[in-house]
Amino acid sequence: MRVASCPLCAGADAATSLVAESSLYRVVRVLDAPDFPAFYRVIWNDHVAELSDLDDEQREACMEAVVAVERVLRQLSPAKINLAALGNMVPHLHWHVIARFHWDSHFPQPIWGVRQREVVPTPMSRLAVDPETLDASVRSAVAALAR
């Protein structure tokens, strides 16, 4: 099901880049949050609002994808992975998967909280890998999933 007014039903947008997709979901990298250079989203393709709108098999497929992205991000040795499905603005099921670092602008606050520090040099330059390499790892991990 697609909803005409829903930006996540509309598909691609300039604030994200498509990294991987399946018949059930797509994985995008978030481009408009430069404070958080390892930030992906798993977006369920169908327009459902809540995780509990999925049946068991769908939910497991969704969480497998979230965890696959998480496992790739853990290779960056983050302080923590943050997972969140909020959707208050866009009630179409999507998971934020964010690698958090001790040096990042908001740590240990949530990314939606109060900035803790300025980060110089740029966050992206602090990652051990470039974003294209990270994307390739995420793409490969998602492709390896059964569904």
What residues line the site for a second copy (CB under 8 A)? Answer: 49-52, 56, 59-60, 63-64, 66-67, 70-71, 74, 79-89, 91, 100, 107-110, 112-113
The nearest distance, CB 100 to a second copy, in angstroms, is: 6
Give the number of C-alpha atoms closer than 13 A to the C-alpha of residue 145, restricted to the C-beta side. Answer: 25
The nearest distance, CB 41 to a second copy, in angstroms, is: 14
The length of the chain, given as a count of residues: 147
Q: Which is nearer to a second copy, 63 or 136 (CB)?
A: 63
Q: Which is nearer to a second copy, 2 or 74 (CB)?
A: 74
Measured distance CA(139)–CA(147) in Å, rounded: 14
The nearest distance, CB 138 to a second copy, in angstroms, is: 14
Q: Which is nearer to a second copy, 2 or 80 (CB)?
A: 80
- The answer to whether 85 and 76 have CB atoms below 8 angstroms apart is no
The nearest distance, CB 89 to a second copy, in angstroms, is: 5
* Six-digit token string for 43: 């977006």
Other residues' Cβ atoms within 10 Å of the Cβ of residue 130? 12
Q: Which is nearer to a second copy, 128 or 146 (CB)?
A: 146
Least Cα distance to 134 among 44, 80, 71 occurs for 71
